[in-house]
Copies of this chain bind each other. A is one copy, B any other.
Amino acid sequence: MTEAELIERLRALPLHPGALRLADDAARLGDLVLTKDMIVEGVHFLPHDPPGDVAWKLVATNLSDLAAKGAVPEGALIGMPIGEDRWDRAFLDGLDAALRAFDCPLLGGDTVSGGRTFSLTAIGRADASPTRSGARPGDALWVTGTIGDAGAGLAIAKGAAGPDSLLARYRRPMPRLAEGRALAPVVTAMMDVSDGLVIDAARMAAASGCAVTIDLAAVPLSSAYRDWSGDPLAAATAGDDYELLFALPADVAPPVAATRIGQFREGDGLALTDGDDPVPLPGRLGYLHLSR
């Protein structure tokens, strides 16, 4: 069964109205926003990744889903296996650091014996939340921060040469919580960039019933990434950025630092340009693992 088939089957189960037809990254329950992620050794993290970074990333990626909803973290429940002592202690240190950094206290959890599969349910609070499906033809596409750093960091984690600053972007992503709260009231659509800028923008356009064009020349790159590679297409098709991708009416400026990188139009599908020149779509639009 593919992930898409499994999600279709999950959609056929009795769904809560707050599940939003499982078409978004988080559920709503009153003013609460709920999101759940599992991570598996060898799939979502590397066996030699520092355990504290694994814990940090587990928290940060869940809170990134809350950020895209403009939510303030309220708490989290963790499911974790009991394993090798030194590994577990380092994991808990990273968990402590992340919970403190993002002011997200632990609400509960479960400990099990078993392999290194971890689960987190993060709960936030927001009055109203944008979805990924509200972009309209004419809206501009924006993104916070810089793109591609974490993809470079993954290559560095796997043995490529490169600076620690890029590795850190892969191992200790920072959810854009403050930016998300500022953006939520003004955007027409918002999501976090987890699988790659291009594929996530295509998903936002498809959910919104629009076409989208991304100008690769406008994709914001860090100076570290420019020194490391500088390839904007590689940056825009790598994953794990955890920046916020959002749509705004053409005449609205975002209330936070961000870069305008594209345009929604009538129709459907995705187009890339380099300035005004069309760029053929690559075979791979993003990081397609089985899990999102």
Contacts and interface: CB of A to CB of B under 8 A. Distances in A.
A242 to B, nearest CB: 16
**A interface majority secondary structure:** mixed
Contacts of A36: 77-79, 108-110, 119, 121
Contacts of A96: 12-14
A158 B80 CA distance: 27
Protomer copies: 2
Contacts of A50: none
Contacts of A117: 38, 40, 112, 114-115, 117
Interface in A14-69: 14-16, 18-19, 22, 26-27, 29, 32, 34-40, 42-44
A6 interface: yes
A218 interface: no
Contact of A38 (B9, B99, B110): B110
Given A13-B95, A100-B14, A110 B37 contact: yes
A105 interface: yes
Contacts of A16: 74-75, 105-107
Given A10-B106, A290-B111, A77 B38 contact: no
Contacts of A10: 78, 92, 106, 109, 111
Contacts of A292: 110-111
A32 B99 CA distance: 22
A32 B198 CA distance: 38
Contact of A290 (B19, B37, B82): B82
Contacts of A105: 13-16, 19
Contact of A119 (B34, B38, B88, B108): B38
Contacts of A290: 82, 111-113
B43 A112 contact: yes
Interface string A67-101: 00000001101111110010011001001100110
Interface of A: 1-3, 6-7, 9-10, 12-16, 18-19, 22, 26-27, 29, 32, 34-40, 42-44, 74-75, 77-82, 85, 88-89, 92, 95-96, 99-100, 104-115, 117, 119, 121, 123, 289-292
Across the A-B interface, the 4 shortest Cβ-Cβ residue pairs? A40-B114, A113-B290, A112-B291, A119-B119
